[in-house]
Structure 1
Amino acid sequence: MTAINQDQKEFWNGNGGSSWVSGQEEMDRFLAPFTEQLMTHAVPAKGERVLDIGCGTGDTSLKAAAAVGASGSVHGVDISQPMLNLAESRAAGQGASHASFAEGDAQTDTLGDAADLVISRFGVMFFEEPTVAFKNIHAHTKPGGRMVFICWQPVRENEWVHIGLGIAKKHVEFPPPPDPYAPGPFAFADIERTLGILGDAGWSNAKAEPFATKLNQGSSARDAAESLMLRGPISRVMMDKTDAEKEAVLSDLTDAMEAKMVDSKVLLGAGVWIVSATA
């Protein structure tokens, strides 16, 4: 296991996973526009078997489970056990016995029975070897099966990212910029490269559709700023900063969020790619 891959697993089984679990309802609301787009494009049908890559706390898996019904099934895979624990609890609470969850790495692990449909909401950009991962996913998809996933467009198209980064960089030192193609939220922002990876992995008819929206970051400027600090793109950098540095960033970020209030909501621009392909 390489250092990058291990880093991802440690983060999502540590502070990264626990912060998502504690903010599950908030994150589901924040990501709701993309969940809707994912389901609209994927169109899970009654009786189908769905594989959800990077299923997290189970929001997309449970929506797919409702669509395929008891005659179908959904299998969610993630590297974060804390998030999977919550997904299993939510499924039990909804009586979704046809939704199952397992800790696993889509790059190398067995992903259950062959799927009719593969979905992912921001769960595929963290692969250290994306071609290997998509080959493995392809091997777990029925011939002619389809895949739909959502990944972020470049940072410049995502206000919810660059507004926080700009403010944080005024107060704290950031590490050198990573390789833009290294595992991370924006690893698939170069969509031509991403489509090329899918082709190399054996997928056909790969295409991408842009989608832009405004994300509801919360009902108060302070809550929105705190959420970006805890679960946004600056969270990992701010984790080990001093209380004074954190408060300075939080204060300026709160002021910035105040300027983004519309009808008692903090709305921030976001852009994604909706990618589809056929096995």
Structure 2
Amino acid sequence: MTKIDHTTPFAVPVSPIVEFWNDVLAPKFLTYRHILEGGLSRHSAQVFPRLEIQNGAQVLDVGCGFGDTTLALARMVGTSGHVTGVDCCPDFVNVAQSELRSSGLANANFHVADAEVHLPEQQYDSVFARFGTMFFVNPVSGLRTMRKALRPGGRLTHIVWRHREENPWLAAARSVLLEHLPQPDADAPCCGPGPFSMADPTLVRTQMEAAGFTDISFEKIDAQVLVGRTIDEAIAFQLAIGPAGEIFRTAGDAAERKRSAIETDLHALFSAARHDADGIWMNSASWMISATTPQQ
């Protein structure tokens, strides 16, 4: 087996979508890291026990964010294995590298990279992605790049959101915003296709087959996720990130003029949600999608 040089830098990503993530979204994600990471981990925690990852495996974590999935995978593969996390946002990777230093793990590393465009070929036994592939501008091309990164017989597992109506933690606030503001213009700068672009299993199966995957399967994952420790934080979170945040951001001055009425309606929405000592919780739903690369 060819030894992988984990120190070789990946290609530095440059595209309008990557620039949008770095300039607009990354600072907001850092602010609300505790909500995002805590909520998303409730899905990956259900997926990890089902992963077919062996001790000693070489694993790639695409869209690794703050690195929590990469470090969890590094513990799974043991000291003879290795996990590389990649993300297009240097700010996320900086946090992940800090978490790695604190963890004491020696079998993981991180790179800034755009996995849709370029990855090393045939170097990994498994590729994992949590809520990242939905933002590929060209899903077939991005999935094909991930397939090429796998060795023959390698396994891809990615987690994506199911349909909007199954995800009130994002969709309910969006509906409130649309009562006050218009849909964003189609040409407005954005994060990519969006969180629900891979919700339809028929479409995604076709995309994955076109990318060269076989043995494609879908499994439902459901979890309640934190939307804020307080109602005020839940409102601020929704106006900063996600579909509601996109509507508010692109509306500009009109959104600010209607902020008071919007916040009143969002307050009512979150008052009716489940509350406990940790904060406010709402339902979320994802697909665990698994597939294999053909044996050569």
- Structures share a fold, TM > 0.5? yes
> What residue is the counterpart of 1:131 in the other structure?
140
* CA offset digits 1:20-72 (Å, max 9, x no partner): 12222222112121121231222433211111111111111111112112221
* 1:216 is aligned to 2:229: no
SS at match of 1:31: helix
Give the AA of the match of 1:23.
Y
| Aligned-residue offset at 1:260 | 0.4
Gaps of 5+ in 2: 1-13
| 1:246/1:81 CA distance change after superposition, 3 Å | farther
Which residue of 27, 30, 33 corresponds with 1:18? 27
Give the AA of the match of 1:253.
L
* CA offset digits 1:116-164 (Å, max 9, x no partner): 1111110111112221222221111011111111101111111112211
Which residue of 251, 261, 265 corresponds with 2:264? 251
> What residue is the counterpart of 1:149 in the other structure?
158
SS at match of 2:16: helix
* 1:272 is aligned to 2:286: yes
Give distance in 2, aligned partners of 1:87 and 1:43: 24
| 1:246/1:44 CA distance change after superposition, 3 Å | farther
| Aligned-residue offset at 1:113 | 6.3
Give the AA of the match of 1:258.
S
Give the AA of the match of 2:51.
A
Deviates more, 1:221-230 or 1:240-249: 240-249
Give the AA of the match of 2:194.
G
| Aligned-residue offset at 1:13 | 0.7
SS at match of 1:183: coil
| Aligned-residue offset at 1:172 | 2.1
Give distance in 2, aligned partners of 1:94 and 1:152: 29
Which residue of 26, 32, 42 corresponds with 2:51? 42
| 1:237/1:97 CA distance change after superposition, 3 Å | farther
Give distance in 1, aligned partners of 2:246 and 2:175: 15
Which residue of 173, 181, 191 corresponds with 2:182? 173
Give distance in 2, aligned partners of 1:129 and 1:220: 38
Give the AA of the match of 1:234.
A
> What residue is the counterpart of 1:76 in the other structure?
85
Give distance in 2, aligned partners of 1:272 and 1:195: 15
CA contact (8 A) 2:129 2:158 kept: yes
SS at match of 1:85: helix
Which residue of 97, 104, 121 corresponds with 2:106? 97
Which residue of 226, 237, 244 corresponds with 2:236? 226
Give distance in 1, aligned partners of 2:173 and 2:223: 18
> What residue is the counterpart of 2:41 in the other structure?
32
SS at match of 2:15: helix
CA contact (8 A) 1:41 1:148 kept: no
* CA offset digits 1:57-111 (Å, max 9, x no partner): 1111111112112221111111111111111111112122321111222222134
Give distance in 2, aligned partners of 1:172 and 1:236: 11
Give distance in 2, aligned partners of 1:198 and 1:269: 27
* 1:205 is aligned to 2:218: no
Give distance in 2, aligned partners of 1:87 and 1:108: 22
| Aligned-residue offset at 1:12 | 1.2
* CA offset digits 1:155-190 (Å, max 9, x no partner): 111111221111111222222579xxx722111111
Gaps of 5+ in 1: none
> What residue is the counterpart of 2:248 in the other structure?
238
| Aligned-residue offset at 1:213 | 2.3
* 1:261 is aligned to 2:271: no
Give distance in 2, aligned partners of 1:130 and 1:115: 20
Please, what is the CA RMSD of the aligned residues?
2.1
- What TM-score, normalized to structure 2? 0.85
> What residue is the counterpart of 1:164 in the other structure?
173
CA contact (8 A) 1:62 1:91 kept: yes
